[in-house]
């Protein structure tokens, strides 16, 4: 069934009037209002640069605000806002990751004894690595001592130290030096892990207390 042309014309006219009123608030009893930097209120039938700068409200002929528009941000402010939003998003992801990790930890270790056992096992593994490095270092130091003894014997007999022996001593010293550095790193990592475990245990206990209070 066709609609009378008069109805279609009226609908089109209403739509046109609405769009025109949005573009020109003053034509529909609406005005722009903004507050400048000194706190003074201003009204205008058209959108000015100051209104865009400070942000504005659209008010009707009764003074009621029908729309609010925030002020335009400078490039520096937009960059700062974007940086803050990025930081907040990263913080939220980190918090969510920590919450999931905490939940998994509490599921895996329902009591403190089981959690302590896992921590001690980690230290035990590191102690085993340190022990192996010490044994290896001791062996390489003995090999260096033998090479140095051969060089000393040649010098004692007033004979030149062969080049292959000099090169061997230099290589062996490098091996010993590398192992000493490795052992120092392993010991430092072990000390750091022990300190971290103290913090982890305190965190575990805090989570356990929260669970118990929740029940």
β-pairing, 56-59 vs 41-44, is unpaired
Terminus-to-terminus CA distance in the chain, angstroms?
A: 67
Question: What is the model's pLDDT at position 72?
Answer: 76
Q: Which residues of the chain have pLDDT under 70?
A: 1-28, 215
The residue written with tokens 């120092």 in the block is: 184
Question: What is the model's pLDDT at position 44?
Answer: 87
Q: Which residues contact 203 (CB under 8 A, 6 or more apart)?
A: 102
CA dihedral 75, 76, 81, 82 (to 10 degrees): 70
Count the Cβ atoms, other than its own, within 10 Å of residue 56. 24
Which has the closest alpha carbon to 165: 180, 143, 141, 138? 143
**Alpha helix (H) ranges present in the chain?**
5-23, 49-54, 75-108, 112-156, 163-214
Is the separation of the CB atoms in 84 and 93 below 8 Å? no
Question: What is the model's pLDDT at position 10?
Answer: 38
Which has the closest alpha carbon to 142: 131, 154, 134? 134
Question: What is the model's pLDDT at position 186?
Answer: 97
Question: What is the model's pLDDT at position 26?
Answer: 47
Question: What is the model's pLDDT at position 62?
Answer: 84
Angle at 119 between CA 114 and CA 120, to 5 degrees: 95
- Round to whole Å and give the CA distance between 144 and 131: 20
Count the Cβ atoms, other than its own, within 10 Å of residue 115. 20
Residue 109, phi then psi, degrees to nearest 5? -125, 85
Q: Which two tokens stand for residue 73?
A: 């941000």
- Round to whole Å and give the CA distance between 191 and 212: 32
Question: What is the model's pLDDT at position 107?
Answer: 93
Question: What is the model's pLDDT at position 28?
Answer: 59
């Amino acid at each position: 069934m066709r609609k009378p042309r008069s109805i279609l014309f009226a609908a089109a006219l209403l739509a046109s009037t609405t769009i025109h009123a949005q573009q020109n608030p003053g034509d529909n009893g609406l005005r722009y209002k903004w507050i400048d930097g000194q706190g003074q209120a201003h009204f205008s039938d058209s959108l000015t640069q100051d209104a865009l700068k400070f942000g504005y409200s659209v008010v009707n002929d009764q003074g009621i605000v029908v729309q609010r528009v925030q002020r335009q941000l400078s490039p520096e402010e937009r960059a700062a806002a974007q940086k803050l939003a990025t930081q907040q998003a990263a913080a939220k992801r980190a918090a969510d990751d920590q919450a999931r990790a905490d939940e998994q930890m509490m599921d895996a270790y329902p009591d403190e004894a089981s959690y302590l056992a896992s921590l001690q096992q980690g230290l035990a593994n590191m102690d085993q690595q340190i022990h192996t490095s010490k044994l290896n270092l001791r062996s390489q130091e003995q090999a260096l001592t033998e090479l140095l003894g051969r060089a000393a014997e040649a010098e004692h007999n007033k004979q030149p130290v062969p080049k292959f022996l000099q090169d061997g001593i230099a290589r062996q010293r490098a091996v010993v030096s590398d192992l000493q550095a490795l052992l120092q790193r392993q010991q430092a990592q072990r000390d750091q892990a022990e300190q971290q475990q103290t913090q982890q245990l305190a965190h575990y206990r805090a989570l356990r207390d929260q669970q118990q209070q929740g029940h």
